[in-house]
Structure 1
Amino acid sequence: MPTHRDLKVWQLSNALAVRIHELTRGVSVESGADLVDQVRRASLSIGANVAEGRGLRTNAQFRRHLDISLGSAAETDAHLAALLDRDALSARDVFDLRDQLATIQRMLVALRNSLPAADRPPTRASAASRPPTPAEAATAPPQPTPPRASAAPRSPRR
């Protein structure tokens, strides 16, 4: 059975987290050691949520974790910007990391959009606007039939 390790997006997000860890090893306290911990955690969270979601039972749960991964990717990007602003990382390194991050984000969105929506519970709007399923129709109380509109008497023409 395929696991999260078989997903290209997980492989790329894991490689990104490793690369961020390598590039932030020498960051000094003055230039952003507090951000180093944050960017490392956020980048690890991208792949970790893909893995967790892949291990759950439904597509809806997997979609939710892919959304969380997208949030972690955005957080990673924000921390990279802060590290660049503090001159803790070079512009070239941040550009390369952001390029990898953008690829991962596109892949997360594509994966989320490719999941079948069959296990998604209907929303109120969609349930109200669709005809009842046979099971719903069988268990629904009988609806009164509306009275027929009778033809109103016409007034004579003059």
Structure 2
Amino acid sequence: MKSYRDLIVWQKSMNLVTLVCSLTTEFPENEKFGLTSQIKRSAVSIPSNIAEGYGTNYRKDYSRFLQIAKGSLFECQTQIEIGVNLNFISVENCKEINDLSIEVEKMLNSLINKLADN
């Protein structure tokens, strides 16, 4: 593997950011600096921490950045659910995001476990 860009979990988390950003365009204007901003920040944090962790020289540090990415993913999942509860997002519109976020979650768990085993 030559770069963090080769990691499928990074690629899928980048796709998640794109979906989240397009979904939040439907949020009310008065949420621009509230929930909209918070969801985008948490989504952007996922691939950012994967990349940053990949660039470290130590397995333990890499694992820690992956844990942070997982925390940001859970934050994003929660905020999407809040958007549904507030009727900013329809259940149908967030299905693709939910499915992708669960896939990223499983991949992060697998990579974290792999690092712990070695």
Tell me which interval the TM-score lies in, with the shorter structure as reference length: over 0.9
Q: Deviations over 1:15-48 (max 9, x none)?
A: 1001110111131135x43111000000110100
| Alpha-carbon distance between aligned partners in 2 of 1:76 and 1:82, rounded to the nearest angstrom | 10
Partner of 2:100: 100
Structure 1, unmatched stretches of 5+, are 119-158
Map residues 6-155 of structure 1 onto 2, 5 A cutoff.
6-30=6-30, 32-33=31-32, 34-115=34-115
| Aligned residue identity for 1:96 | E
| Alpha-carbon distance between aligned partners in 1 of 2:26 and 2:85, rounded to the nearest angstrom | 16
Q: Secondary structure at the match of 1:95?
A: helix
Contact 1:16 1:101 in 2 (8 A): yes
Structure having the larger proportion of residues in helix: 2
| Alpha-carbon distance between aligned partners in 1 of 2:94 and 2:40, rounded to the nearest angstrom | 14
Q: CA RMSD in A?
A: 1.4
| Alpha-carbon distance between aligned partners in 1 of 2:117 and 2:57, rounded to the nearest angstrom | 14
Structure 2, unmatched stretches of 5+, are none
Displaced runs of 4 or more, over 6 A: none
| Alpha-carbon distance between aligned partners in 1 of 2:111 and 2:61, rounded to the nearest angstrom | 13
What is the identity percentage for the equivalent residue pairs of Structure 1 and Structure 2? Answer: 29
TM-score in terms of structure 2 length: 0.92
Larger gyration radius, structure 1 or structure 2: 1
| Alpha-carbon distance between aligned partners in 1 of 2:74 and 2:18, rounded to the nearest angstrom | 17
TM-score in terms of structure 1 length: 0.70
Q: Deviations over 1:89-146 (max 9, x none)?
A: 111122221111000000001011112556xxxxxxxxxxxxxxxxxxxxxxxxxxxx
With over 3 angstroms needed to count, the CA separation of the structure-2 counterparts of 1:116 and 1:91, relative to structure 1, is: closer
